[in-house]
Structures are given as C-alpha cells and as structure tokens.
Amino acid sequence: MEAVNLLSSNRYTEKQIGYLFISVLVNSNSELIRLINNAIRNDLASRNPTFMGLALHCIANVGSREMAEAFAGEIPKILVAGDTMDSVKQSAALCLLRLYRTSPDLVPMGDWTSRVVHLLNDQHLGVVTAATSLITTLAQKNPEEFKTSVSLAVSRLSRIVTSASTDLQDYTYYFVPAPWLSVKLLRLLQCYPPPDPAVRGRLTECLETILNKAQEPPKSKKVQHSNAKNAVLFEAISLIIHHDSEPNLLVRACNQLGQFLQHRETNLRYLALESMCTLASSEFSHEAVKTHIETVINALKTERDVSVRQRAVDLLYAMCDRSSAQQIVAEMLSYLETADYSIREEIVLKVAILAEKYAVDYTWYVDTILNLIRIAGDYVSEEVWYRVIQIVINRDDVQGYAAKTVFEALQAPACHENLVKVGGYILGEFGNLIAGDPRSSPLIQFNLLHSKFHLCSVPTRALLLSAYIKFVNLFPEVKTTIQDVLRSDSQLRNADVELQQRAVEYLRLSTVASTDILATVLEEMPPFPERESSILAKLKKKKGPSTVTDLEETKRERSVDVNGGPEPTPASASAVSTPSPSADLLGLGSAPPAPTGPPPSSGGGLLVDVFSDSASAVAPLAPGSEDNFARFVCKNNGVLFENQLLQIGLKSEFRQNLGRMFIFYGNKTSTQFLSFTPTLICSDDLQSDLNLQTKPVDPTVDGGAQVQQVVNIECVSDFTEAPVLNIQFRYGGTFQNVSVKLPITLNKFFQPTEMASQDFFQRWKQLSNPQQEVQNIFKAKHPMDTEITKAKIIGFGSALLEEVDPNPANFVGAGIIHTKTTQIGCLLRLEPNLQAQMYRLTLRTSKEAVSQRLCELLSEQF
C-alpha cells in the first residue's frame, strides 16, 4: 500500500522507488491492481515524458492480463500520436509488444496499425528499432495487416547496409552500422515470402552486400566487431534460406558457412553447423552442403565442446542421403563409442533412422543395428529394436541373414539384454532358416538362448518363453527339452505372475494341442502394416516437432496414402496373429503370442472366446463414413453419422489456426444409453500436428435426449490424417461400438486472400519448383455446374478470384493455411473440360505435403 502511495507522489525519487517496488513484487491482488492502474493512468496522461516512461516500463515489466485489459487500448494511441516524444514512443512500442505476447486477444487491431508501419521510416533509429520488434511479432499473426512493412523494411535495410560506418553516429557499433536494427529488419522479412520483383531486386542487392562485406578484411580486431558483423550475416543467411528461391545466394551462403566451419572462434563453428543444418534441406544447396562432409566428420572427432559436437551430429543427420549414408552411419557409430552420455540416446535414434531410411542392402541394416546394440545397448530404446524386428519380418530376403547374425552375436560371453530380446524374437520366428547347419541346430539354438535366460529381466524372460513355444512348433525334436524347462519349478511356480502364466499356458498348449493347432497358433508373424517409423516419432518427441518434421517432410517420399488413418482391427480370434493398433509389435513385451485368458482346457475353440468381448477394441470405421467425411470438407455443419440408435451432428467454426467443434450426440431410441463414452483417437503422427482438447460427457444419455461435446482444436503444423471419433455405449444390455472419421481437415485453417491477376501469376511463378506443385486429372462425379463449383471452392476456404485466369471457364483461388508454427500460402486452379466430363486441378503451395493433401481433399469434391 505504501508503494502505491509512492506512485502518486510528485517527487521523482519516490515515484521511481514505488515503480521499482511494484515491478518486482506485484502479484494479481485485485484491489491493489486497481489502485496501481489508476496511478499509472495518471502518469500516462501527465505528458511528462519521464513519468510516462516510468509508467510504460512498469506495464512492460509486469505485463499481466489485468494491465493488458486496462491499457491495451490506450498505448497504441500514445504510440502513433504525433506529439509523443521519441523515447516514449520506443517504450510504448515495446510495452504494447509485451502486452500482445501475454494477451493477444486484448490488443485490438485498427487504423493505428498502418501508422505503426510508417514508424519504419522514422528519423530516430531508436524508434525504428523498437517499432520493428513490435511489427515483427504482430506480422507473424496478422501478415495481411502489415504486408506494406516489407518494402519499407527493405529500403531501410538498404540505407543501413550501404551507409558509411560514421553515418549513423552512435548507432554504429564497433564499425558495424546499426547491427541490432539490421538483424531485426531481416527477421521481419522472414515473416513474408519473397517480395515483388522491384523490391526483391533491392533486397537481393542488400543480401549480396552483406555477403560481400563478410569477405572484406575486418575493420577492427575486436571480437565485438566480428560478432556484430556476423550476427547480421547469419540473419541474412536465415532470410536466404527462408526464401529458398535464389540458388545463387544459397550457394554463396553455403560457401560462407563452409569457411566458418574451420574458423578459430568456437562460437562461429557452432553457428555455422547449426545454420548449415537448415541449408541441407534446401534442394538448391543440398549438394553444396555435402562438399563439407569431411570437415563436419572431423568436427565430430576433434571438437572439445559437447554442444558443438551435438550440432555436428545434427548436421550429419541432415546432410545424409543415399550416397553418403554408409560413410555417415559408420562415422556416427564409431563416435558413439566415445560419445557423451547426454547425447547418446539421440545418436542411437539417428543412426537407426538413417540406417533404415537409406538401406539399399538390408544385411547392412541388420549389421548396423546389432552394432548399435553392442556399442550402446543401454541407450537403445524399445522403439529401435521393435523396428528392426518389424523390418526383418517384412522383408523375407533378410530373414536368414538376420537369424545367422544374431545367432553369432549371441555367442559372445556377455551380450546386452536388448540383443537377447532381438535374438529371442528372431530365432523364435526364423530359427528354422539356419537349423540345417549342424553348428546351429535347434538344440544348440535353444541352449544358447536359455544360457542367457537367468541373467535377464522379467519382460525379456517372458519374451524368451514365447520364443521357446515357437521352437516347439518349428522343431518338434526339442519339444521334450522345452517342456522340461517349462515344467521346472522355477517357471511353473515363478513369483512373477506373467512368467508363471506363460509357462503354464505354453506347457498345456504343447501337450494338449495337435500339430495343426500348434502350427496355426504359432504361425510366423504376418508382415507389419507400413506406417511411420516409431523411432522417428520418438525422435520428434524428443526434439520437439519443428526440427525434425521439416526435414523429414521435405524428404519423405509420397507415401502419404499408405499411412492414412489408423488401421481398424477387427476384434476377433485372428488377433492372435494380427498386429494390434495399440502396440507397435504384437506380444513382445506385454501380451504373449498366445491367449492370456484362463489356461486352455480344450484345444479347439479356445481362441475365440478370449478375444470376442474385448471392450477396449476400436470398431472399424462405420460404412459410409468416408462419403460423409468428404461432404464436410467444404462445409462445417451437418449430420456426420446416423443409424437406428444414434445420430451425430456437427457444428464447427475455424479461425486462423484455431477451431472449435460442437459434437451433438442424439439418442434416437426411448431407452437410456449407459456408459456412453466418446473418445477422440489421433495417430502418433497426428498428435504432434493437431491439438485436440475436450471434456468427457455424461455417461448416461436419456432416450430422445441430445448431449453436446465441445472439441477445441489447434493446428500446430500441417497434417494429413483425420482423427477418429470412437463411441462406445451400452444399449439395452448390448455393447455398441461406432467409429467415424472426424472431418478436421487441413483446409479448415484456410484464410482466403484476395489478389489481383498480376499478383496471382507472379506468386504462381514463384512457386514453380516441381515439389511445390501437385496436379490431379479426374472424372467429374457430379454434374458440372459453375455456381456449385464456385460455392465449393469458397467452402473449401480459399478466396475465389474472378477475372484472373484468361479462360473464364477456369476457377482460380488463393489463401493462406494457418498453423501454429507457420503460414503456408496456397494457390489453386481448377480447369473443367465439359466435353470429356473431366477436371484438372493444380495446387501450388510452398510445402509439398500441403499441396498434396489439399489436392486430395479438393479432388473428391467435384
């Protein structure tokens, strides 16, 4: 309270101490906040620049939501008022920036925005510096409102880079003209695609000047000079990479970074490795980056700082392609032997991914992974060894080799438990392929595995027991030996329930069942459905989606369709040999490849009962749900699903990268639904790209009643799959299970963009890389009506641009896909051919996966 009194004092010292106190100690005590806000308001209105400055600093330091509520409307006025002092303008700009960061919803956009943009032209460089920060942040969320800032920023930048070092007086820092402002302007330009040709030429000149200056001899030996100069250079390179359109600049940037790779400053080597990592994913500079491979490998070996070595690993991972994979993987493996513990797990994941991705020869892949387990077994996570088994099972040409190699590897007196797991699994499946050799006869194989048994943990032992029962099927001659092992007290009376149960069940199975049943139950595992590698998912989780996804997305082959949607698995007896959707590998850890129910009493029908009423299984997609799904691509409201019992209606709205969907469940019967549980299911892939939040609904739905569920949606990055809505409930004693695809599609995050013909074609030309364009020619499924087609394109989310295409029969659209991480500009063109009843649809966006997905979605509509 005393502090608040100090605020209203007219004495500067008292006021200053009051503000300092409040900045440090204030919390959201509502009563005090009102008094404080009052005092601040008085100071803001005081027209005394020092008092206004104090008040603005205080708002920026506290930055709470209450303050935003009170002042978010006021500060823009101070910022753009003609008579505001420069220093107050600076504070006001950054103060507003802080409020916008805490509560973007409270800062209203308005006519002040255009006047803020003109601050880029201000005489006072300090004002320009502060304003640039504000504009950059605002432009990230509202690119349209601030797009005029691009040309102003370019001309300001051009004036700075061409100025002599004395021109800017105190804004020159160690002979570098306004480095902070330059960096900020370059950063602002990274919010936008490459500008129009006129501006672009000027910008290219600026970037060239910056690159040229890097070659000039330093004007000072001080580290500050080189730091400031290189800060601008690195930011310029980021912009070049962001635009990714000038091959010449990209290659120059790459060469410049190449020089830094051998610089004596550790900081520069670090940054060069980091920056080159992003360059590696651009098609123009990928080759240029590759020329530095030896230097990078050398960095891995000789750098004394672990964080630099970490960057080198990242870069090797990014620059790897089919031609260099063997070399890079070998280098990473040899580095792994001495690598720091903190980064071992990540290296293991990366080696595993590269080995898989670029394996031409799968025997090399198997060798690599086994080496990985040998060198760094503790850091090999489950995903890695799951994956090697998936691959061995799916490729029959490598199975024999894998069996032979693991058999040899297991000979070592001490081997890692992960190797025992892989060995147990692979020999259990494919041991027969090497059993012909007397050195690896069935009995020897079994004895080898069993010699490791006692040293292993419970899950591994469980896996080995499963391998044994598979041996019973593969090699009848060792059946009695295995039965003896299973029968021994250490198994049948094992303290662990899982082991005990497996021993009992397997023993019974081997004695009771006929060879036919054994052969069916213990059949070889069927191939696993192709889907995103679980290792990749793990690496993404570790590193956060941004770093890895981009790289992968650009390199990934067009296998989108193969991975679309989680596979529905019918819950039936076949589950014994079908991979379940929940675990990546059936049975390895938790469930044995035979039923876990009560011990079998009779051989025949034992499998059916156990799995028939599994309440947790997800029903296959309801018939017709694909059709309904397609209908929602261009509209937001309607009935998604209906049968005799249940109706599901949808109402949704989307703004930028956020959305909200109301799901209405209607009970069409007169009886209550019990244990009514709708669940949203996202595949691992989708989970990182789309955030869905919802609350559970009331588990009982009365007859004739409707319940509502709200789903909040946030699009983090572009995505392909759709979430699945699974509904389970009991109706009159029977269990009902319905799954439908929920129509949350990428185009929902479209914002239409109006543009003139000239602009359109110019942008169209900018997106001329073959990856950026996706085209589809298809037969019309509906009557070809111009008005309906127009409505559909608008419903799809893009703007419909009239009088752009020279042929009036064609349709042209433009829009921006908003995701949390980026915004992706999209252009589309639809050419109908009435005679042939065909359409040709062309999409161009800056991102291949987005073009692909939008084209798929829209093609279904006509």
Footprint of other proteins (CB under 8 A): 11-13, 16-17, 20, 50, 53, 56-57, 60-61, 63-64, 87, 90-91, 94-95, 97-98, 101-102, 125-126, 129-130, 133, 169-171, 173, 178-181, 183-184, 187, 190, 222, 224, 227-228, 230-232, 234-235, 238, 266-267, 269-271, 304-305, 307-308, 310, 544, 546
Distance of closest approach, residue 790 Cβ to other proteins, in angstroms:
39
Distance of closest approach, residue 166 Cβ to other proteins, in angstroms:
14
Do 260 and 268 meet the contact criterion of CB atoms below 8 Å apart? yes
Pairing between strand 773-779 and 799-800? unpaired
Distance of closest approach, residue 57 Cβ to other proteins, in angstroms:
5
Assign 736 to helix, strand or coil: strand
Q: Is the CB of 299 or the CB of 793 nearer to other proteins?
A: 299
Do 139 and 188 meet the contact criterion of CB atoms below 8 Å apart? yes
Distance of closest approach, residue 216 Cβ to other proteins, in angstroms:
18
Q: Is the CB of 185 or the CB of 370 nearer to other proteins?
A: 185
Point out which residues pair with 694 in neighbouring strands.
711
Q: Is the CB of 171 or the CB of 839 nearer to other proteins?
A: 171
C-alpha pair distances (Å), 420 with each of 353, 380, 409: 21, 13, 9
Distance of closest approach, residue 766 Cβ to other proteins, in angstroms:
22
Q: Is the CB of 119 or the CB of 509 nearer to other proteins?
A: 119
Q: Is the CB of 275 or the CB of 285 nearer to other proteins?
A: 275
Positions of E strands within 742-822 = 750-752, 773-779, 799-800, 811-818
> Looking up tokens 């990592």, which residue turns up?
277
Q: Is the CB of 177 or the CB of 825 nearer to other proteins?
A: 177
Q: Is the CB of 341 or the CB of 735 nearer to other proteins?
A: 341
Structure tokens at 84: 């505001």
* 731 contact partners, CB below 8 Å, separation of at least 6: 645, 669, 671, 673, 674
Distance of closest approach, residue 122 Cβ to other proteins, in angstroms:
13
**Calpha distance 233→383 (Å, rounded):** 41
Cβ atoms within 10 Å, residue 149: 29
Distance of closest approach, residue 67 Cβ to other proteins, in angstroms:
11
Q: Is the CB of 461 or the CB of 847 nearer to other proteins?
A: 847
Distance of closest approach, residue 599 Cβ to other proteins, in angstroms:
50
Distance of closest approach, residue 55 Cβ to other proteins, in angstroms:
12
Do 422 and 392 meet the contact criterion of CB atoms below 8 Å apart? no
**Calpha distance 567→132 (Å, rounded):** 49
Q: Is the CB of 186 or the CB of 465 nearer to other proteins?
A: 186
Phi/psi of residue 593, each to 5°?
-75, 25
**Calpha distance 512→489 (Å, rounded):** 20
Instruction: State which H helix or E strand residue 829 sits in.
Output: strand 823-833
Structure tokens at 16: 């200053």
Of 744, 687, 358, nearest in space to 545 by CA? 687
Distance of closest approach, residue 141 Cβ to other proteins, in angstroms:
15
Structure tokens at 801: 């641009």
C-alpha pair distances (Å), 253 with each of 212, 233, 274, 275: 11, 9, 13, 10
**Calpha distance 359→134 (Å, rounded):** 48
Q: Is the CB of 175 or the CB of 761 nearer to other proteins?
A: 175
